[in-house]
Amino acid sequence: MQTTVFDVDGIRTDDDLRSVMNAIQDLPCIAHAEVDVATGRATVEHTSMVNEGEIRAAVEEAGFVTR
C-alpha cells in the first residue's frame, strides 16, 4: 500500500470537503482517504493501480488546486 500526501487549496466548507473526498474516493484502488479541513492536507492510501498524478488530477478536476 502506498501513501500520498499533498495540500489542497480552497477547502472552506463542508461541501468543499465532500467534493474533494468524492473526487478521491471515485478513483479505483483507494484504501483510505483523509483531508484535514484546517490545514488542507490530504492523506491518501492507495494501491499501485493509481498514482499521485491521477489523484491530484481528480482533485483539480473537482475545482481545487493541489500543491
State if pTM tops 0.85.
yes
Residue tagged 492523506 (cell numbers): 43
Domain assignments of the chain as residue spans, ordered by start: 2-66
Second-level CATH architecture of 2-66: 2-Layer Sandwich (3.30)
Each residue's pLDDT tens digit in the chain (67 positions)? 999 999 999 999 999 999 999 999 999 999 999 999 999 999 999 999 999 999 999 999 999 999 9
The answer to whether the beta carbons of residues 37 and 2 sit under 8 Å apart is no
pLDDT the model gives residue 45? 98
Please give the full DSSP string across 28-61, using - where no structure is assigned: TTEEEEEE-TTT-EEEEEE-TTS-HHHHHHHHHH
